[in-house]
Amino acid sequence: MAAKYQVNMVMGVVERSGTNLYSTVIFWDSQGKLQGSHRKSTILHSESPLWSPGETPSTLYATSSAGRIGGLISSDNRLPLLRSMLYERGIQIYCAPTADATKVWKASMTHIAVEGSCFVLSANQFCRQSDYHRYCVEEEEEEKDDAVVSPGGSVIVSPRGEIMEGPRYHGEYVLSTDLGMYVIIHFGNYLNDH
């Protein structure tokens, strides 16, 4: 799809390797070539029956036609040392796919944008009960096909901490904005001058 539309594409996926499942963020360049991936390293207690942690701490990072793109997935975004690895590489576009729709998540994305002097793009899933296969649904919940399971909350934040687009909840949305990469240069200079 990245090659077909000639776009850089970052997305969260369920990755299967042998008998293990990983929550993974992957990046394809505009030619459709896989440029990198990051397996979630912090597994929450409630996730441990299903998910495996990534073997070694890593980050997703690559240089693209749009700039230096990278990111982490889900709760790994709350690990300062992993974020620092991206900041040290001069990340410009920080991607953070998640399933966390809380207000705290939006605050975290704003903090990361300012801390890293980068744009933050956080894609959050929106899904209803009817999006799941019947064997995943409890009998008493089958009647609630239109019930929202994950409300979304995708957001784009500027290096100044300004919300550029979103967050959008309770529906399927495509967020779009001109990032204006000059802001990174100006904002970075502002920080260096003071």
Q: What is the pTM of this model?
A: 0.86
Q: Is 67 helix (H, G, I), strand (E, B) or coil?
A: strand
Between 10-24, 46-60, 76-90, 153-167, the lowest mean confidence (pLDDT) is in 46-60
Mean pLDDT of the chain: 85
Please name the residues in contact with 109: beta carbons below 8 A apart, sequence gap of 6 or more. 77, 96, 120, 122, 155, 157
d(CA 100, CA 87): 23
Span 126-165, pLDDT tens digits: 888 887 766 555 555 555 668 888 888 999 999 999 999 9
Q: Where are the domains of the chain?
A: 98-193
d(CA 61, CA 64): 10
The predicted structure's pLDDT at residue 192: 47
The predicted structure's pLDDT at residue 142: 54
**Higher per-residue confidence, 23 vs 190:** 23
Span 113-124, pLDDT tens digits: 999 999 999 999
Residue found by looking up tokens 């903090």 in the block: 111
Minimal CA–CA distance to 25: which of 4, 39, 9?
A: 39
What are the start-end ranges of the E strands in the chain?
9-17, 20-28, 34-39, 60-64, 67-71, 93-95, 119-122, 126-128, 148-157, 163-169
